Amino acid sequence: MKVDGNNGTVELSAYLQNVQRQRAASAGYERQEETRPVAEGDRVELSERAREVQQASRAAQALPEVREEKVAQVKMEVAQGTYNVNGEQAATAMLKESMENEMVLQSIDVRV
């Protein structure tokens, strides 16, 4: 089999030209999409449920991620050796949260 060193260069050059043409065509299409006028009269109406979700999302974002007072209290109790964990209370809270998560997922029809 004869291997000619020029074939690879020619093929690569043709490939690069093709890629450049596709990019140029794609860029032209994107610019065309950006300049399309917005149709007058279009509007969006949010359902009552969507408004509730939006309001809940805003409220959740306004809450601090860490309850500083609670963290300080627990740190102090741990340092003093007086912090006690109520196992039953912790287990109940974990089960409750798990059940709440399950209900939320079912309400939005997500298979678990």
Rounded-to-integer distance, Cα 60 and Cα 54, Å? 10
pLDDT exceeding 90 applies to what percent of the chain?
29
Q: Is the pLDDT of residue 5 over 70?
A: no
Q: Are 25 and 33 in contact (CB under 8 A)?
A: no
State pLDDT tens for residues 40-75. 777 878 788 888 888 888 888 888 888 899 999 999
**Is pTM, for the whole model, over 0.85?**
no
Q: Calculate the average pLDDT of the chain.
A: 79
How far apart, in Å, do the first and last CA atoms of the chain sit?
59
